[in-house]
Amino acid sequence: MGLTACLAVTTIALWITGRISLYINPDSAWFAVGMSVVALLGAIATFALPLGAEADHGHDHEHGHSVAPARARREAFAHADHDHGDAPDAHDAAAHDHLAARPRLTAAAVSRDVGAPPLFVGSDVVTLAASGDTSKFGIGDWSAVFAHATNPETFDGKPVTLTGFITPGQDGASFDLTRLVITHCVIDAQTARLPITAAGSAPSTGQWVTVTGTVRSTGDGALEVHADQVAAIDEPADPYEY
């Protein structure tokens, strides 16, 4: 129950401080916070149960059971709590350090990239890109299109404005624009990256940038972004896509 209470308090604290989106998809945050409140109330409710009551069964005299063992356990626990009274401070400090830490994304993204098409793709994304408004598409959406489009010429000339961080380019690209995409929570984050062709030298690896440009077909069945402008920016407050 102690571990459950710690996890619940941590989740609620992340929600109150506005940092829960660093760990959980905002669309699912209400469920995590709601269950944390329930778990915390349940943990508090357990204090209504006297320590050792589960061993008394309420019929000690009928079967000759003694209440002494239960009383001894209560005294032992009380003694242990007194001896380790400084332990909660250490745990509180560790929890504070955990909440203060921000995920470091650039190194994680490179190490998680296995070269396979992202698993969050859907045929509806490709269909929408071909026939609908793509102004709100992120790197994850476009990487799905780049990986699965069967008619690349359809997307030639589409304007894009995308934000991500720089990773080394592949297949002749000046650099790759990269982002971590979350489906449910940070544990399932996957790397999405787009090849960018830009004039001049590429920004340093790990630098966050906003790229304004146009999707172009390379003529060999592939797509890339031709950048008109690459502007260096600070890391966004919410570095993930969803």
Nearest to 194 by CA among 220, 208, 215, 219: 215
Interacting residues of 117 by C-beta distance below 8 A, sequence separation 6+: 143, 144, 147, 148
H or E segment to which residue 26 belongs: helix 26-45
pLDDT tens-place string over residues 184-238 = 777 878 889 999 999 888 889 999 999 999 999 887 788 999 999 999 999 998 8
pLDDT one-digit tens code per residue, 3-51: 888 888 888 888 888 877 777 777 778 788 888 888 888 888 877 777 6
* Full set of structural domains in the chain with CATH: 2-104 (no CATH), 109-232 (2.40.50.140)
Range with the largest mean pLDDT of 50-64, 115-129, 190-204:
190-204
pLDDT digits (tens, 9 = 90+) for 126-170: 777 777 778 888 999 898 888 888 888 888 899 999 999 999 988
pLDDT at residue 6 in the model: 87
Residue 95 CA neighbour count, 13 Å, CB half? 17
**Does 234 or 123 have the greater pLDDT score?**
234
Q: pTM of the prediction?
A: 0.58
Give the residue ranges of DSSP H helices in 64-150.
68-83, 87-100, 105-112, 123-131, 139-148
